[in-house]
Amino acid sequence: MEKVFALPNGEELVASVLGPGEGRGTTAVQHEIYSFLTRPFDPWMVPTEGGFLAEFLAGTHDPSLADTMLVGRIDGTVVGTAWHGTDRDLPEMGGYGFVFTEPEQRGKGIAQRLTELSINGFWAVGGQVSYLGTVNPVAQHIYEKHGYRHYNGLTYRALRPGTDADTFDETFFGRAGDGEIREIRLGDIGAYTGLVMLLEPVEWIVRDYTEAMFYAPPVQASGCLRPFFNSMTRHAASPANAWKVLVNDNGRLVASANLWAPTHAPVAANATMEFQAAPAYVDRATAVIEAALQDAAANDVRAVRACGVAEARLAVLREAGFVDEVVQPGALDLGDQRVDVTVMRRDLG
Ligand SMILES: CC(C)(COP(=O)(O)OP(=O)(O)OC[C@H]1O[C@@H](n2cnc3c(N)ncnc32)[C@H](O)[C@@H]1OP(=O)(O)O)[C@@H](O)C(=O)NCCC(=O)NCCS
Q: Is the CB of 141 under 6 A from ligand 1?
A: yes
- Contact between 301 and 261 under an 8 Å Cβ cutoff? The reply is yes
Do you find a cis peptide bond into 201, omega within 30 degrees of 0?
A: yes
Q: Which residues of the chain fall below pLDDT 70?
A: 222
Q: Which of 253, 230, 235, 238 is nearest to 182 (CA)?
A: 253
Q: Is the CB of 95 under 6 A from ligand 1?
A: no
The pLDDT value given to residue 336: 85
Q: Is the CB of 108 under 6 A from ligand 1?
A: yes
- Contact between 201 and 215 under an 8 Å Cβ cutoff? The reply is no
Ligand 1 atom nearest to 115, measured from its CA: 12
Q: Is the CB of 43 under 6 A from ligand 1?
A: no
Rounded distance between C-alpha atoms, residue 121 and residue 119, angstroms: 5
Quick check: pTM over 0.85? yes
User: What DSSP letter does each residue of 92-129 carry, written as one string?
Assistant: TEEEEEEEEE-GGGTTSSHHHHHHHHHHHHHHHTT--E
Q: Which residues in 242-263 are b (16+ Cβ under 10 Å) and which e?
A: bbbbbbbeeebbbbbbbbbbee
Mutate which of 46, 99, 138 for ligand 1 pocket (most atoms within 8 A of beta carbon): 138
The pLDDT value given to residue 222: 66
pLDDT tens sequence across 232-275: 999 999 999 999 999 999 999 999 999 999 888 888 899 999 99
What are the E-state strand segments in the chain?
A: 2-6, 12-18, 65-74, 77-87, 93-101, 129-133, 148-152, 155-159, 180-183, 206-208, 213-214, 243-247, 253-260, 270-277, 303-308, 323-333, 338-347
- What's the fold here for domain 180-347? Aminopeptidase (3.40.630)
Rounded distance between C-alpha atoms, residue 203 and residue 193, angstroms: 19
For residue 146, how far is its CA from the centre of ligand 1 (angstroms)?
13
For residue 110, how far is its CA from the centre of ligand 1 (angstroms)?
9
- Contact between 225 and 131 under an 8 Å Cβ cutoff? The reply is yes
The pLDDT value given to residue 235: 96
Count the Cβ atoms, other than its own, within 10 Å of residue 175. 16
Strand partners, 206: 214
Give domain limits for the chain. Answer: 2-130, 180-347
For residue 29, how far is its CA from the centre of ligand 1 (angstroms)?
25
Q: Is the CB of 224 under 6 A from ligand 1?
A: no
For residue 109, how far is its CA from the centre of ligand 1 (angstroms)?
8
Rounded distance between C-alpha atoms, residue 308 and residue 310, angstroms: 6
**Averaged pLDDT of the chain:** 95
The pLDDT value given to residue 263: 85
Q: Is the CB of 110 under 6 A from ligand 1?
A: yes
Ligand 1 atom nearest to 110, measured from its CA: 7
pLDDT tens sequence across 201-219: 999 999 999 998 998 877 7
For residue 148, how far is its CA from the centre of ligand 1 (angstroms)?
14
Rounded distance between C-alpha atoms, residue 82 and residue 86, angstroms: 14
Domains 2-130 and 180-347 share a fold: yes
- What's the fold here for domain 2-130? Aminopeptidase (3.40.630)
Helical segments of 218-258, H only = 226-237
